[in-house]
Structure 1
Amino acid sequence: MQWCDRCGGALADGGHEACAAARQLEPPRYCGRCRRRMKVQVLPAGWRASCVEHGELSSV
């Protein structure tokens, strides 16, 4: 199952248009693969998010 990386809800349930719009400006908060809350660091040039199970994502 895939999860919304902003709210943590199931993508199959739908209704994530607001999440997709917000993600244009915000870093992800939840891992899209396992739904765990990620450690997020906002940097001057972007962001870095880390899931304990799946590793790091980055915008830089």
Structure 2
Amino acid sequence: MQPITSTPTGVDRTWCDRCGGALADGGHDTCGRARHLEPPRFCAVCRRRMKVQVLPAGWTATCVEHGDIHS
């Protein structure tokens, strides 16, 4: 199971958006399951740590390079 996609449309994902590890290395089954319950912590494109705000209605994660992702 791959982590939930949390990148802008048309952008290739290189990094796991939960742990920040390389997707090519594999072993992200736990991350994929956890992402169903929590927001991303790393940008899947550039691996930067994102600013995350969790609200009762959802979450917003912001990468300084690639912008906002919303739930």
Bin the TM-score by the shorter chain. over 0.9
1:28 aligned residue (40, 43, 60): 40
Aligned length: 59
TM-score (norm 2): 0.81
> How far 1:54 moved relative to its partner?
0.2
What's the % identity of the aligned pairs?
A: 75
TM-score (norm 1): 0.96
Partner of 2:4: none
What are the equivalent positions in structure 2 for 1:1-60 lying under 5 Å apart? Answer: 2-59=14-71
Counterpart CA distance in 1 for 2:64 and 2:22 is 20
After the TM superposition, which segments of 4 or more aligned residues of structure 1 sit over 6 Å from their partners?
none
> How far 1:33 moved relative to its partner?
0.2
